[in-house]
Structure 1
Amino acid sequence: MKNTLILISFIFTVPPAMAADVYNKSENKLNLYGKIDGVHYLSDNERSRGDKSYFRTGFSGVTQINDQFTGYGKWEYNILANQTEGSDDNSWTRLAYVGLKHSKWGYIDYGRNYGILYDVESYTDMLPEFGGDSYTQSDVFMTGRTQGVATYRNKDFFDLVEGLHLGLQYQGKNIPTGSEEPSSVSSLARQHGDGYGGSLSYDTDMGLSIATSVASSRRTGEQKNAHKNNRQFACGDKAQAWTVGMKYDAHRVYLGAMYAETRNMTAYGSDDSLYGGGIAGKTRNTELTAQYQFDSGLKPALSYIASRAEKLHSISGNNKYLVKYIDVSMTYNLNKNMSTYLDYRINLLDANDDFYASNGIATDNIAALGLVYQF
């Protein structure tokens, strides 16, 4: 790890840079934002090391329609910077939605947005590079960023209870088309039937917040029938999840905790591994994080993330941890636009268990070293 020490000494001695401004225009506002993250992974695992740099940008717009209605929209795009020129699949849309806000009745929008379960997951997804991955997966039902969701939100519960917030979400059926094999984990995990979800949170004036969220979706016929050809794929009619969490954010201290359970939802492994991965029949997920912001700009954090699966029907057994690690990170804010970080993921999965090698699940530690400019 000699290279790690050299890089650590470098990232904590980078000189500060000038800040960038955000663009706004009168009552019709358009905020431009983005960041460039120059990040390098160090690991004994070949897939988990090397350049992971990327550029992310987007805009959020607001327009006043009348004294009661406001229109808004958001778009966010990600471009990998570690690919050769002309490479395919090196960029994608993260978010793209449009909506209306009523002065009393709340917000409603439609498009590509965060799933309702992420309302609680966001309490612990606070690390500079890792974290937030016990069960949250992009385009897998309503766990993370996903497409085709109509979301309604109301803050302060119709102005009746200050701090009480309600969220409701509907997701329409979708079976993506692409180059993936129909029976692969990548293909099956990203399918979904009609789904519904809701969240409820309460913010106190002492920095303490609590939240809960539930979601249930129909599974496609392909998802349900996949179990016949590969017993590692769950076979239930519905994909369901519930989660609870709490956070404390005051006096430079941040504490976050989340617990969630999923049914027939969580994908694991890689398509090109020996057994090709699968979809767990049940998972129990825990995430904890503790952080402190110093006056100097240094913010250390200690976190624990785990996902224990049941009903795997794998050759190696039914109960396995799919994710389990301790994370130690340090972020240093050079100014409001420039920061640098070290994020070290200490993997606690058993490297001697054939289940992980056979399903393409890495068991090695990873150190991420990054320098970020954001505007």
Structure 2
Amino acid sequence: MKLRNSSILISVLAMAGTANAAEVFNKDQTTLDLYGEVQGMHYQSKDESNQGDRSHARLGLRGNTQINSELSAYGRWEYEAKLNNAEAGDGNGQHTRLGYAGLKFGTEGGTFDYGRNYGVMHDVAAMTDVLPEFGGDSFETPDSFMTHRGTGMATYRNDNFFGLVEGLHFALQFQGRNDKTGSNRNLLGANGDGYGMSLSYDITDTLSAAAAFSSSRLTAGQKQHLNIEGDRANSYAAGLKYDDEALYLAAIYNQSYHMTRIGNGAAIDGVPAFASKSENLEVVAKYNFDFGLTPMVAFVQSTGKATAFDGQTVSGALKKYVAVGTNYAFNKNISAFALYQFNLIKNSEADKAIGIATDDIMAVGMLYQF
């Protein structure tokens, strides 16, 4: 059986859609910006689980207020609605992506915030998560420890190392336990207390490097029902990127333990939901032409191993593909894209049984953002 920039702070606070935010309030040193996007996208694939409409809409608010000359406060909320659900649906397509509040301590003291935010592992993963679709998905999953968006994140960030080292940025993060009954979480979305750190350095104006690690306690339910040996889920990542506004190149490498999901994440046929160890590699390249066209290519590979319930060690590809496509920006608000994902995992009924994708996917869509 096979298994299947000037700083990090700015990149996290100014994710896609915020660059074109509209100011809706500005009074007494308090501002409020509104931003959002609507994406119409369709998947074409032989795999029924990756076939059909994938459209969504997002709306966000971002506020800042000056408390005194050395202290300011900020907050952000972002909501998403899936557009492929029936109007009489159960509402599962609507959710809060981000929601946090924090304080900024002068120009060199850094920031501290708490709420639903990005985990520090995303500070590295964001380097290759730059395509309209695909990429950035070898080890990142929302509500999977500190790899992506998650709940209960307390984060301190500092640029230029308190003003002492230009271009050196770091983040410290703690995540509280999330496994309460009634919180709409299953074993895959649960986590114990965790901590992490990221570090990045701007080597030149166009070249930067980053590294991150995180460690989270596994919950009692995860250890009992998912056949996980050990007490913690750990992850380590490093990345390098080159960006001169026209040419963009980036590569990341990650090792994760009890953290990368196997296929659909269900413990099927004696295989646990998380790989005991995974190695993940992502490489991306794109070029922005002056007239709005951006061709792009990405390679993503995730390999893992796990101990089955019968004690047998199994290993293989969790994900492996090449994505090729292009994006055309009509202006800063509207763009169209088409990408084709060439799946490099051989068609296997064993892979399909545990939810590992083995078919190609074509994604086409348009994005309007403000």
Cα distance in 2, alignment partners of residues 179 and 202 from structure 1 = 38
- Is 1:363 matched with 2:358? yes
- Is 1:67 matched with 2:69? yes
Any idea what SS the aligned residue of 2:204 has? Answer: coil
Q: Partner letter of residue 95 of structure 1?
A: L
User: Which residue of 246, 264, 269 corresponds with 1:252?
Assistant: 246
User: Which residue of 134, 142, 154 corresponds with 1:150?
Assistant: 154
User: Which residue of 304, 309, 317 corresponds with 2:304?
Assistant: 309
Any idea what SS the aligned residue of 1:177 has? Answer: coil
Cα distance in 1, alignment partners of residues 69 and 206 from structure 2 = 32
Could you list the per-position Cα deviations for residues 319-359 of structure 1 after superposition, in whole angstroms to 9, with x for gaps in the alignment? Answer: 1111110011211000010000002111111213x331210
Cα distance in 2, alignment partners of residues 291 and 208 from structure 1 = 15
Q: Partner letter of residue 316 of structure 2?
A: K
Any idea what SS the aligned residue of 1:267 has? Answer: coil
Matched with 2:318 is: 322
Could you list the per-position Cα deviations for residues 58-77 of structure 1 after superposition, in whole angstroms to 9, with x for gaps in the alignment? Answer: 01100000000010001000
User: Which residue of 284, 290, 302 corresponds with 2:285?
Assistant: 290
Cα distance in 2, alignment partners of residues 158 and 365 from structure 1 = 47
Could you list the per-position Cα deviations for residues 134-159 of structure 1 after superposition, in whole angstroms to 9, with x for gaps in the alignment? Answer: 00010010000000010000000000
User: Which residue of 345, 349, 352 corresponds with 2:341?
Assistant: 345
Matched with 1:99 is: 102
Any idea what SS the aligned residue of 1:83 has? Answer: coil
Identity of aligned residues (%): 44
Matched with 1:189 is: 188
- Cα deviation for residue 271 of structure 1 reads 6.5
Alpha carbons of structure 1 residues 271 and 126: separation in structure 2 relative to 1, 3 Å: closer
Q: Partner letter of residue 257 of structure 1?
A: A
Contiguous gaps of at least 5 residues in structure 2: 1-19
On the 8 A contact 1:114/1:144 being kept in 2, the answer is yes
Cα distance in 1, alignment partners of residues 221 and 318 from structure 2 = 23
Matched with 2:166 is: 162
- Is 1:55 matched with 2:50? no
Contiguous gaps of at least 5 residues in structure 1: 1-18, 181-185, 228-232
Matched with 1:25 is: 26
Cα distance in 1, alignment partners of residues 77 and 43 from structure 2 = 28
After TM superposition, the score normalised by the length of structure 2 is: 0.89
Cα distance in 1, alignment partners of residues 21 and 199 from structure 2 = 36
Query: How large is the Cα RMSD of the aligned pairs?
Result: 2.0
- Is 1:266 matched with 2:291? no
Matched with 2:209 is: 210
Alpha carbons of structure 1 residues 46 and 292: separation in structure 2 relative to 1, 3 Å: same
